[in-house]
Amino acid sequence: MRSDARRVRRALAAGAVALALGLTGCAAGTDYATQTASTLQHGVLEVATAAQAGDLAGAQTKLAALAKLNDAALAKGEIGSDRHAAIESSIVAVRADLTQLQDQAEKERLQQQLRQLQQQQQKPDQKGKGKDKGKGGGEGGDG
């Protein structure tokens, strides 16, 4: 589990860096206003915070909201098409990473569930054998 947590943090860090690179230059006012940059950067922080907390579904939701902010900024003329494309590209990469992490987490959850079911299945067999010996007759008799 600890290696999974590390993997999530690494993927999160890589994704945050990719998103940040898409936003690079915004604070200096190169492509867009400081307010727009701040709004988008806040969105990146929300995605990173949710992912780091292990809330991958929440991170996906916040990433979708960030994509909408990016699209709205382009539509309003607050960012240029090049900057929009760079941010969108980063969002796509982070979305793919989050989806992969969600798939891995779901696979691990299902494997754990299977192990638990197998253990439960083995326990009643052992207990059931001992109980049946002392109960002559009872349920399920053929005759």
User: DSSP readout, 83-138?
Assistant: HHHHHHHHHHHHHHHHHHHHHHHHHHHHHHHHHHHHHHHHHHHHHHHHHHHT--S-
CATH numbers and ranges of domains, the chain? 2-108 (1.20.1440)
- pTM value? 0.65
Q: What single DSSP character describes residue 29?
A: T
Q: What is the mean pLDDT of residues 85-107?
A: 89
User: Which pair of tokens denotes residue 20?
Assistant: 């940040």
Percent of the chain scoring above 90 in pLDDT: 26
The pLDDT tens digits of the residues spanning 29-85 come to: 455 678 888 888 888 888 888 888 888 899 999 999 999 999 999 999 999 998 899
| pLDDT computed for residue 141 by the predictor | 52
Q: Is the backbone of residue 80 left (phi > 0), alpha (psi -120 to 50) or beta?
A: beta
Count of residues making up the chain: 143
| pLDDT computed for residue 38 by the predictor | 87
